[in-house]
């Protein structure tokens, strides 16, 4: 089976973590070619070629692919699809934009958030906020899938695949990039951070969220939030962890003032070590926590940050 893996390229650079984890899943489906499509993506293509288990890298360096517009990128992918049985991508905001379009153009379904590859046609994915695992057997001639990266280890480096430059596909002219509004942050990116410190409704205000941020900065961590904290305006919505937020699986996840609703757990329960600080000893978060501290966060967090 030939597999086309759409690399995650941000600002012309390969997002190595997401791409290398999706590669581990893709390699279980067949022989993997990576597509790097962006503006100025030669460096990304070189980096992709060094990943273990890649047979070839295609590099489409064109301004049309510089801003994650789904329409031109989907047409490029579809123009290449004849040579591949599988078209896969890490499950990211960019791929959630483009892969449904690719699938529609190929008259296939999207098999989203794959967490295990059973065989080349059969995949597992979570449903009901991670409370059940669905096994999907696809009869589509082309399998279009996104990979939940938090459940796969990253492929290592040491590969030496060839890089082939390819031309852009005709731009359908359906969309136009106007501007990106990117929140600048010195902190690690939430979905790939090794440590995440998250605050919930218990934090009580945007001002007090600085307590969470202070602890995160001491730990070199990304900051997360529950939906209740986001909806209450304590934290920006790109910090939301959970079923309708981001899915994270860091080495250490610290949940502060978060009750542990299933929709929140859906986004963090695969974390390697979970620490919870909550004043309610009955809070469900303690059922998934490796370490639990029953305490008032306004005392425990400043003390912990001070000691660190
Ligand atoms: P609460 O449940 O109100 O918990 C606050 C906790 O803080 C309590 O346990 C309390 O004991 C503790 N606390 C209060 N004061 C202190 C203190 N001083 N010190 C220590 N502890 C304190 N939620 C998500 O998080 N992410 C999602 O993606 C998401 N998606 C959803 C999708 C759907 C379709 C639905 C229906 C819901 C979704 N939710 C999601 C919402 C979810 O059901 C919960 O409402 C939410 O997670 C609760 O957030 P919380 O734990 O911060 O708030």
* Nearest-angstrom CA–CA distance, 171 and 261: 44
Asked, for residue 79, whether it belongs to a domain, the answer is yes
Asked, for residue 175, whether it belongs to a domain, the answer is no
User: Residue 109's domain spans which residues?
Assistant: 2-166
Ligand 1 pocket, residue 269 CB under 6 Å: no
Are both 24 and 137 inside the same structural domain? Answer: yes
Asked, for residue 176, whether it belongs to a domain, the answer is no
Closest by CA position to 16, among listed 7, 6, 5: 7
Protein residue whose Cα sits closest to atom 16 of ligand 1: 202
Ligand 1 pocket, residue 296 CB under 6 Å: yes
Protein residue whose Cα sits closest to atom 26 of ligand 1: 242
CA angle 73, 124, 97 (to 5 degrees): 20
- Note down pLDDT in tens along the chain; length 308 residues: 899 999 999 989 999 999 999 999 999 999 999 999 999 999 999 999 999 999 999 999 999 999 999 999 999 999 999 999 999 999 998 999 999 999 999 999 999 999 999 999 999 999 987 889 999 999 999 999 999 998 899 999 999 999 999 999 999 999 999 998 877 788 999 988 999 999 999 999 999 999 999 999 999 999 999 999 999 999 999 999 999 999 999 999 999 999 999 999 999 999 999 999 999 999 999 999 999 999 999 999 999 999 99
Using the 3D structure, point to which of 166, 199, 233 is the last residue of a domain. 166
Are both 135 and 60 inside the same structural domain? Answer: yes
Mutate which of 127, 201, 304 to test ligand 1's pocket (most atoms within 8 Å of Cβ)? Answer: 201
Are both 116 and 60 inside the same structural domain? Answer: yes
Asked, for residue 87, whether it belongs to a domain, the answer is yes
CATH number of the CATH domain containing 222: 3.40.50.1220
Ligand 1 pocket, residue 244 CB under 6 Å: yes
CATH number of the CATH domain containing 117: 3.40.50.620
* Nearest-angstrom CA–CA distance, 106 and 81: 9
Are both 237 and 280 inside the same structural domain? Answer: yes
Are both 156 and 215 inside the same structural domain? Answer: no
Could you write out the DSSP letters of every residue in 8-69? Answer: -EETTEE-HHHHHHHHHHHHTTSEEEEEEEETT-HHHHHHHHTBTTEEEEEEEE-GGGTT--
> Could you give the ipTM of this predicted complex?
0.99
- Whole-model pTM? 0.82
Which residues belong to the annotated binding site for FAD? 201, 226-227, 240-244, 257-264, 278
Number of domains in the chain: 2
Are both 91 and 215 inside the same structural domain? Answer: no
Alpha carbon of 238 to ligand 1 centroid (Å): 16
């Amino acid at each position: 089976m030939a597999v086309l893996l759409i690399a995650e390229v941000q600002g012309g650079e390969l997002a190595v973590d997401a791409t290398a984890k999706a590669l581990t899943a893709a390699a279980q489906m067949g022989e993997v070619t990576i597509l790097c499509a962006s503006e100025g993506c030669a460096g990304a293509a070189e980096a992709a070629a060094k990943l273990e288990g890649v047979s070839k890298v295609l590099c489409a360096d064109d301004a049309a692919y510089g801003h994650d517009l789904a329409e031109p990128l989907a047409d490029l992918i579809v123009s290449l699809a004849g040579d591949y049985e599988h078209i896969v991508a890490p499950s990211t905001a960019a791929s959630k934009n483009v892969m449904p379009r690719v699938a529609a153009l190929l008259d296939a379904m999207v098999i989203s958030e794959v967490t295990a590859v059973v065989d080349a046609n059969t995949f597992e994915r979570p449903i009901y906020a991670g409370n059940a695992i669905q096994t999907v057997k696809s009869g589509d001639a082309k399998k279009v899938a996104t990979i939940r990266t938090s459940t796969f280890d990253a492929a290592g480096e040491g590969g030496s695949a060839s890089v082939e430059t390819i031309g852009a596909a005709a731009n359908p002219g359906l969309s136009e990039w106007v501007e990106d509004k990117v929140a600048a942050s010195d902190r690690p990116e939430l979905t790939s951070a090794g440590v995440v410190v998250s605050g919930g409704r218990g934090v009580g205000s945007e001002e007090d969220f600085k307590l969470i941020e202070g602890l995160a900065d001491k730990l070199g961590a990304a900051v997360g939030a529950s939906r209740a904290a986001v909806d209450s305006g304590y934290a920006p919505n790109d910090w939301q962890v959970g079923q309708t937020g981001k899915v994270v699986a860091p080495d250490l996840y610290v949940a502060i003032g978060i009750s542990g609703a299933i929709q929140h757990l859906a986004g963090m329960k695969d974390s390697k070590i979970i620490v919870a600080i909550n004043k309610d000893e009955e809070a469900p978060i303690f059922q998934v926590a490796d370490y639990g501290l029953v305490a008032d966060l306004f005392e425990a967090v400043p003390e912990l940050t001070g000691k660190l």
